[in-house]
Amino acid sequence: MVPTPITVRVPAKVNLHLAVGDTRADGYHELATVFQALSLTDEVTVRSGEPGIDVHGEGADSVPTGSGNLAWKAVRVLAERCGRDPDAPGVQVSIHKGIPVAGGMAGGSADAAATLFALNALWRLELGRDELADLAGRLGSDVPFALQGGTALGTGRGERLVPVLARHTYHWVIALDRHGLETPDVYRELDRLRQSSAGGNGADGVEPVLEALASGDPRELALLLGNDLQAAAVSLRPGLRRTLRAGVEAGALAGVVSGSGPTCAFLCEDADSAVRVAAELSGAGVCRTVRVAQGPVHGARFAGEDRTD
């Protein structure tokens, strides 16, 4: 019997708060971040067959289809874990991108998380959440959060997660840039700015952000959005300054560069406001396109499962 193809939907993330600490001995920076999963999603389908990976949707041209794809690394890691040949795993992976590529929203990490989740079912491995999260952490700092979703505090490289209570639904407008930014370049620029003491710490402590999330008031949260990588992203892409200003002028409560950028995320008062901000921002000529999104949403789950948040 050929097992049914399995499709998993997985969310993008925005960092509500991202404090970048010192570089560790392993070359990673120590992070304290608050992630929120947003309703911009990729869909990953796995089926038994000739090994291979295909990618569709927006930005698919710039995504590797071979061993460089993070989803394929997930196939190999899980194959090794369960005693299959990682060079001949007998699985095909199809990715449909809805998350901007190289946009600071962890699209590649999301695909890796979705692949782990889907293969766990296809291969009937019955690995628990903790074991999947452990494998996810080996694949990349943002992969465990894509599995978990919701809102969470991340420490270490961002992979050590504690869920954060956020009952309110937040309404976002997401401004996508014409070209991506590579995450390592942005960290290098931050290090350079800090050496010349121009890169100061933009993000303060995490506790006020957690309190604002508990209060559920988007205006409180808006005052606290912060990202230490923002100065570096803006330094590499000065036009982002104009995008951030335009979002606030269009009526958003606040804007922040998402992760390593160049995507900008604007927090809005409510759903109607988000639609108005999106319309105005798309006419302002400061970005390639805009999307409306809500958060928090679930982490990786089978397509077709109802949202309960």
The residues annotated with a catalytic role in the active site are 13, 142
Annotated binding-site residue? 27: no
Nearer to ligand ATP among residue 142 and residue 255 (C-beta):
142
Residue 43 binds ligand ATP (CB under 6 A): no
264 binds ligand ATP (CB under 6 A): no
How many whole angstroms separate alpha carbon 191 and alpha carbon 209?
A: 25
Tell me if 1 is assigned to a ligand binding site: no
The count of other CB atoms within 10 Å of the CB of residue 166 is 23
- CB of residue 216 to ligand ATP, shortest distance in Å: 27
- Cβ atoms of residues 168 and 309 within 8 Å: no
Instruction: Work out whether 41 is an interface residue with ligand ATP (CB under 6 A).
Output: no
Nearest to 230 by CA among 258, 209, 252, 254: 258
Rounded CA separation 134/166 (Å): 24
Tell me: does residue 137 bind ligand ATP (CB under 6 A). no
CB burial of 69-88 (b: ≥16 within 10 Å; e: otherwise) equals bbbbbbbbbbbebeebeeee
Q: What is the phi-psi region of residue 96: left when phi exceeds 0, alpha when psi lies from -120 to 50, beta otherwise?
A: beta
Report the nearest approach of ligand ATP to the CB of residue 257 (Å). 11
What is the size of the binding site for ligand ATP (CB under 6 A)?
22
Q: What minimum distance in Å lies between the beta carbon of 139 and ligand ATP?
A: 11
Stretch that binds ligand ATP, among 97-105, 128-136, 239-247, 273-281 (CB under 6 A): 97-105
Q: Which is nearer to ligand ATP, 214 or 303 (CB)?
A: 303
Backbone angles phi, psi at 258, to 5 degrees: -85, 120
| Distance between start and end Cα atoms, the chain | 36
In the complex with ligand ATP, the residue whose CB is nearer, 186 or 290, is 186
Query: Please, what is the minimum distance in Å from the beta carbon of residue 108 to ligand ATP?
Result: 3
Residues at the contact surface with ligand ATP, assessed by CB under 6 A: 62-64, 68-71, 95, 101-109, 111, 142, 183, 259-260
